[in-house]
Structure 1
Amino acid sequence: MKADAVRGHLDGLLLAVLEPGPLHGYAIITAVQRRSAGALELRTGTVYPALNRLERTGLLRSSWDSAGERKRRRYELTDAGRRALAEERTAWQAFTAAIGSVLDPAPHPGHAG
């Protein structure tokens, strides 16, 4: 899938994969790839700046976690992040319904074909 397809939806994708619980950066990238059945491959150079921005805006919080000798930053949703995710889902449903009504070749009730 084209990288442009993700543009404008990255925040929602990141918030959605963090909904079940905290993850570190690489696990977030892996979760997006797994949940999209491999169709979406996010680059670290795209994900980490977005995570930092989402944290600055209060939608995420992070903490350091130790895995052996390695320290990793784990990200999790804040209450504001959960609200933003709900808004993102509502906006996505409206967007896909509007696009679907244009791309769907089937006649719609009440419209002359």
Structure 2
Amino acid sequence: MMQSWFTLVQDKNKLLNEESELMISARELELQDQKSRLEQELRRYMDMDASLKTKEDKLEEERIFQEMIEVVKMRDRLVTVLEQQRLQEMEQHAVLVPGAAAKDLSTSASITWT
């Protein structure tokens, strides 16, 4: 009886963690799209002859560049949050299934971003 309760709690936690990871992955894809669009816009300004750029063009080029930096920072924060969640998931698993933490550390401690 008690073991089945632990299993249910563990399954629930896994599902919640998976949902959170999927939401973070979706947000990361949105940020990648945004960064690609910004790169295209920035290339357009960078390809312009510097002597033909207006003050507005230079300001817009700088704005796009700053926005790209913010997108990269947001993505870095997402990676950090995801890593913290995975560590927390391993800790939860260790509490519910004693002795399992050492096994989990060897198999799930790496993140692959493509």
Q: TM-score, normalised by structure 2?
A: 0.33
When Rg is computed on C-alpha atoms for both structures, the one with the higher figure is 2
Structure with higher strand content = 1
More helix by share: 2
| TM, length-normalised to structure 1 | 0.33
